[in-house]
Chains A and B, each alone.
Chain A
Amino acid sequence: MIVSVASGKGGTGKTTVAASLTTVWDGPLVAVDLDVEEPNLHLFLRPTVEGREAAHLEIPVLDQSRCTYCGTCSDLCQFKAISVMGKLVLIFPEMCHGCGGCLAICPEKALSPGQRELGEISWGRAGGAQFLMGRLRVGEAMSPPFMRLVKAKLDEMLAASPGDAILDAPPGVSCPAVNAVIDSDVIILVTEPTPFGFHDFQLAWEAFAPLGKPMGTVVNRAGLGSKDLYGFCRDKGLPILAEIPFDRAIAEAYARGRVIADVSPQLRETFVSLRGVIRDLAGRSRPGEVAHA
C-alpha cells in the first residue's frame, strides 16, 4: 500500500503527519520525501544515510560534424530547448523536458544523449523503516521528472523488500503535487481549518478527486479558524481521519524537531488510530498484506 500525504496549502503539517505515521507504522515501510524542492522529513526522522546518487535527465548533445541544419529537431521541440538559425544550433539544456523526441527524429543521427543533473537521491534507515528522499538541485526548475526518478528508486526498494510506503508530497495542486500522488493507493489530505487552509483544501480536493483514489482528511490545528471545512468534507463524503488540536506545546515540540507522535501518549494514540483508518480506507485490513504477497 502506498499512502500519499498531501495538502494544498504549505505548512499545514504534511511532514508532521508523515513522520508521525512512520514512527507508529506496524509493518515494513519506506518513508519517502517527495517534496523535492524543500525536503524536510529527514529533519524529523533523522535517518542514517546508506547511499546517495545524482539523478539526471537525458538531454541532447550535438555532433556538429553530422548536423545539416535541417531544423527538424527544433520544429519538434515544444519547449524551445533547441534553436537552429542558419548554421548555428543552440541547445538550452535547462529548457529540455527530456522527451527524447529530437534524438529520435534527427535524420542524421547528429544528436546523442547527454545529461542534466536534476538533484540527488539518498536512502537509508530511520528506526524500523527504510528512508528515501530526493533533493532538487538549487536552480533546477523541473521537479516532476526528478520525482519520477525518486519513485523509480522506491519501486526498486519495494521490489527488494516488500512493504508499504508513506510519501510526503509537495504542497500545491498543480503538476508536481499531482505527479507525487498519482501512483498511490490512498491520499491523506492534511489541512488546517483557517480560511487559507480551507480555500487551498478545496483546490486540492478538485485536483485529486479525478484520480479516483480513496481520500481522507487530517485536520491539523483543529479549533483554529472556522467550521467551514467540516461541512465541505461532509458534502463531499471525505472522512475526517484524525484531528490534531491547535496547541502551542505541539508547535513548540515541532519547532524543536520532535516527531509529534512522541510528544504525548494521546498524540501517539491519535496516530496509531490513524494508521488503522488509513488501512481501512485503502480497503486493506491486515497490516503487512503486501509484504506477504
Chain B
Amino acid sequence: MADRSAAALRTPIYSLLLAVAVTCFIGALVTDLAYLNSGGNLLWLNFACWLLASGLVFAGFGAVALLVSILRRNAGDWLQFGLLAAAWVVEFVNSLIHARDGWTAVAGVGLILSIIGALLILVAGWLWQSTRYVVAGERT
C-alpha cells in the first residue's frame, strides 16, 4: 500500500485533473443554489452549465490518466476509478438536464444530480488525498 501510494507523488497528472474536476462539480452545485436562491437569475445557470462541461472534460481525462496508472500499477485502485466514473456519468446526465431552458434545468432533478455528483467527486478526492497524506507521514 505504501509503495503504491508513494508512486502517486511521482504521477501528479491525475492529482491535478482530479482537483479541477472537484472544483468544477462543487462550483456547479454552488451556482445551482445561487440560481434557485436568486429566483431565476440566468447568469447562475449559465455558470453551472460551463462548470459542468469543464468538470466533465477534466474528470474524463482524469479517468484516462487514472486507468493508465492503475494498469501500469503505478498508483490508484479500482474504487477510486469507480467513484470517478460514477461522478462522470451522473454529471453527464446532469449537463443534459441543465441544457433545458430556465427553471426546470435546475429545480428538482438538476439540483439532486448536482448534489450526488459533488458528493461522489468529494469522496474520490478525499480518498486520493488521504493515501497521499499517509505516505507523506510515513516518510518523515
- Asked if A and B bind, the verdict is no
Chain A residues engaging chain B, CB cutoff 8 angstroms? none
